[in-house]
């Protein structure tokens, strides 16, 4: 009988200290034996954004307890675990190092294989925790640091179709919330207060909407929100600006996803498209509803991770670990933290001066 594989996952790339124990079951989806996430909202709230040194300190204070709790909650002993996976990048080096070091120590002590995971691969494979999705599929990865369209050909095989040329979508949500004083983290705050506003009140720009394929841009939109926010004073107008921002994002994603689906079809020669929307921003219900409308129009089936697997978590890191372990993609103990680590290493770097679209 085929042995079931069990992994301990550790995630500390940004402001969540997380550990999880995951077992792959016979249907090749996951049994989540434990999933512990400690968010640092309180530490960063007063600054309206993540402060790296504070994040690293909080990881150091919490990591042992979180890993221990994940192991205890899972009721699995260290001997029963087949490998340890920790996020190695991309992210804040001071934060990544905390999770990497404890992961390596546990692996060395227990003589288990160690895997340094790309956080983006964690998001990319995350819907597989609950649903088996055959490769290839189209991925819209929208988080606090990334906004990309990729073809997921297999574990470890990615082709980038488009990316943001400036801000990530989560960043645009966070900055909009900060400018409007709606709270931290920004994404959920903008989504919440949008419901009380008029989405048609402000006409905001849709940068590079008619050019550059499925590449994305949000900096001009953010600047427009800043300009408008300076002119308004009452809450009703604030909520309408948030609603107009959300509405504009929906229009941009609708159009760009349609282009990405076309490119996916051309490249893979597939007539039916499976689209996975993952990352923290994939929790946004308005984006989900809007993409559902598109899916009916273009015959595409959309998969979202459960809300608890959209934001940063260690279940997706353990899951990516299991998938890589099965392909014998095991790392040495000298794997180091990386601040930048694209899934498609051949993709052009799209930020900075001299960019021509």
Binding residues (CB under 5 A) for Zn ion: these are 143, 312
Q: Which is nearer to ligand KG4, 228 or 312 (CB)?
A: 312
Q: What is the dihedral of CA 185, 343, 168, 267, to 10 degrees?
A: -130
Q: Which is nearer to ligand KG4, 6 or 240 (CB)?
A: 240
- Map residues 76-115 to x or -, x wherever contact with ligand KG4 holds by CB under 6 A: ----------------------------------------
Instruction: For residue 283, state whether it binds ligand KG4 (rule: CB under 6 A).
Output: yes
From 121, 166, 167, 312, residue interacting with ligand KG4 (rule: CB under 6 A): 312
Q: Which is nearer to ligand KG4, 71 or 172 (CB)?
A: 172
Q: Which is nearer to ligand KG4, 89 or 107 (CB)?
A: 89
- Map residues 159-178 to x or -, x wherever contact with ligand KG4 holds by CB under 6 A: -----------x--xx----
Pick from ligand KG4, Zn ion, none: which does 283 bind, CB < 5 to 8 A by kind? ligand KG4
Pick from Zn ion, ligand KG4, none: which does 197 bind, CB < 5 to 8 A by kind? none
Instruction: For residue 194, state whether it binds ligand KG4 (rule: CB under 6 A).
Output: no
In the numeric block, the tokens 């546990």 are attached to 106
From 83, 136, 162, 187, residue interacting with ligand KG4 (rule: CB under 6 A): 187
Q: Which is nearer to ligand KG4, 239 or 273 (CB)?
A: 239
Cα maximum dimension of the chain: 68
Pick from ligand KG4, Zn ion, none: which does 159 bind, CB < 5 to 8 A by kind? none
And the tokens for 117? 């995971």
Q: Which of the ranges 25-33, 200-208, 229-237, 280-288 carries the binding residues for ligand KG4, by CB under 6 A?
A: 280-288
Q: Give the count of alpha carbons within 13 A of 34, CB side only.
A: 24
From 9, 103, 128, 185, residue interacting with ligand KG4 (rule: CB under 6 A): 185
Q: Which is nearer to ligand KG4, 23 or 342 (CB)?
A: 342
Q: Which is nearer to ligand KG4, 44 or 274 (CB)?
A: 44
What's the min distance (Å) between Cβ of 31 and Zn ion?
Answer: 23
**Per-residue three-class SS string for the chain:** CCCCCEEEEEECCCCEEEEEEEEECCCCCEEEEEEEEEECHHHHHCCCCCCHHHHHHHHHHHHHHHHHHHHHHHCCCHHHCCEEEEEEECCCHHHHHHHHHHHHHHHHHHCCCEEEEEHHHHHHHHHHHCCCCCCCEEEEEECCCCEEEEEEEECCEEEEEEEECCCCHHHHHHHHHHHHCCCCCHHHHHHHHHCCCCCCCCCCCCCCCCCCCCCECCHHHHHHHHHHHCCCCCHHHHHHHHHHHHHHHHHHHHHHHHHHHHHHHHHHCCCCEEEEEECHHHHCHHHHHHHHHHHHHHCEEEECCCHHHCCCCCHHHHHHHHHHHHCCCCECCCCCCCCCCCCCCCCCCCCCCCCCC
Q: Which is nearer to ligand KG4, 14 or 81 (CB)?
A: 14
And the tokens for 21? 């124990």
Q: What angle do CA 345, 55, 321 make, to 5 degrees?
A: 45
Instruction: For residue 214, state whether it binds ligand KG4 (rule: CB under 6 A).
Output: no
Pick from ligand KG4, Zn ion, none: which does 186 bind, CB < 5 to 8 A by kind? ligand KG4
What's the min distance (Å) between Cβ of 248 and ligand KG4?
Answer: 13
From 14, 100, 225, 273, residue interacting with ligand KG4 (rule: CB under 6 A): 14
Residues that bind ligand KG4 (CB under 6 A): 14, 143-145, 170, 173-174, 185-188, 191, 279-281, 283-284, 311-312
């Amino acid at each position: 009988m085929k042995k079931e594989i069990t992994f301990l996952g550790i995630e500390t790339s940004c402001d969540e200290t997380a550990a999880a124990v995951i077992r792959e079951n016979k249907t090749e989806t996951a049994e989540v034996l434990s999933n512990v996430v400690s968010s640092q909202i309180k530490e960063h709230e007063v600054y309206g954004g993540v402060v790296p040194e504070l994040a690293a300190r909080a990881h150091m204070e919490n990591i042992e307890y979180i890993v221990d709790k994940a192991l205890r909650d899972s009721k699995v002993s260290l001997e029963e675990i087949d490998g340890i996976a920790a996020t190695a990048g991309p992210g804040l080096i001071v934060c990544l190092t905390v999770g990497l070091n404890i992961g390596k120590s546990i692996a060395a002590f227990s003589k288990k294989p160690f895997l340094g995971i790309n956080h983006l691969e964690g998001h990319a494979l995350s819907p597989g925790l609950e649903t088996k999705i055959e490769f290839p599929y189209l991925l819209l990865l929208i988080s606090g640091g990334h906004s990309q369209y990729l073809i997921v050909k297999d574990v470890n095989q990615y082709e980038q179709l488009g990316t943001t040329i400036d801000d990530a979508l989560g960043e645009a949500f966070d900055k909009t919330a900060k400018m409007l004083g709606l709270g931290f983290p920004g994404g959920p705050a903008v989504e919440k207060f949008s419901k009380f506003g008029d989405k048609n009140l402000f006409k905001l720009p849709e940068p590079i909407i008619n050019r550059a394929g499925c590449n994305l841009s949000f900096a001009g939109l953010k600047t427009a929100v800043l300009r408008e926010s300076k002119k308004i004073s009452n809450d009703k107008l604030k909520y309408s600006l948030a609603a107009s921002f959300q509405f504009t994002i929906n229009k941009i994603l609708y159009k760009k996803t349609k282009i990405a689906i076309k490119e996916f079809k051309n490249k893979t020669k597939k007539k039916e498209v499976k689209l996975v929307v993952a990352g923290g921003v994939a929790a946004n219900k308005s984006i989900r509803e809007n993409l559902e409308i598109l899916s009916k129009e273009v015959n595409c089936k959309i998969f979202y991770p459960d809300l608890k697997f959209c934001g940063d978590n260690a279940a997706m890191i353990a899951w990516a670990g299991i998938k890589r372990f099965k392909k014998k993609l095991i790392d040495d103990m000298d794997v180091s933290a990386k601040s930048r680590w694209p899934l498609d290493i051949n993709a052009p770097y799209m930020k900075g001066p001299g960019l021509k679209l």
